[in-house]
Amino acid sequence: MAEIIHPFYESHRGAMEAVMRHRLDLAEAMLCERAHLSNIDGIRQEVMDEFEIVLTQMPYVGGAASRMSDFFMRLMGFMAISRVLRRHGVSPSVISEIERETYKAQLLTVPEAERLASGRQFMSSENQTLLREQATKSATKSHQKEFPEDFVYDFVEPGPGNNFEFGINYKACGFCKFAARHGDKEILPNICGLDFDAYATRGIHLERTQTLAGGANHCNFRFSRLPSD
């Protein structure tokens, strides 16, 4: 019996596959020069086939009502890339380097004004209010029972002497749960490394000194605005 893709992800499947094909276009030269792979057409097909598997494995955490659904849809494709490159003997450090540079290049295809507007919205008081509400909800027993594969996090207010505007402590990570379930722990740190460019390209400085994937008891995200030119 064929594995089923959740209807929410199925409705976004075309867009996610287009993003994956674009990533592979951007990564092509690096796959040749740094990963020393030659059959790039074959690698592309392997990655897209693996992505089909990843789509069936992606946990549903509430769809459009959950901010974390977007994280899964934007980043889970890198699990497919990592799996394929690992099977071809590419080292974890090279995989991480290729994926991070590919993601940054893809993010930078969005016009700067649009990226910076998105960053301002993320840092806005209105979004901070929403983050507080969703953080509180994520920790409730009812939410964790309904969506056991979701993230659990706290909103962090800055204290005296802090130089960040707000923070998030992730106490449970959906990517960590996914990696544990599907044997992807070795490539899990690749996902963590993408966060810095994701925020920097939107004018946001992310400081993070520990992660769940690295063995800490929480991921400590701290956000502040990058100085404008």
103-127 residue pLDDT tens? 999 999 999 999 999 999 999 999 9
Residue 2: the pLDDT is 56
Is the pLDDT reported for residue 49 higher than 60?
yes
At residue 201 the predicted structure's pLDDT band, cuts being 50, 70 and 90, is very high
**pLDDT of 218 over the 70 cut:** yes
- Split at pLDDT 50, 70, 90, the class of 60 is very high
Mean pLDDT for the stretch of residues 144-168: 95
pLDDT surpasses 50 at 1: no
Q: Is the pLDDT of residue 229 over 80?
A: no
Contacts of 39 (CB under 8 A, 6+ apart): none
What confidence category does residue 199 fall into, taking pLDDT thresholds of 50, 70 and 90?
very high
* Mean pLDDT over each residue of the chain, to the nearest integer: 95
| 173 — pLDDT class (breaks 50, 70, 90) | very high
Q: Is the pLDDT at 228 greater than 80, yes or no?
A: no
pTM, entire model: 0.93
SS3 content of the chain, % helix, strand, coil (to 5): 60, 10, 30
Q: Please tell me the predicted confidence (pLDDT) of residue 226.
A: 92
Instruction: Please provide the DSSP assignment of 55-83 as one string.
Output: HHHPPPS-GGG-HHHHHHHHHTHHHHHHH
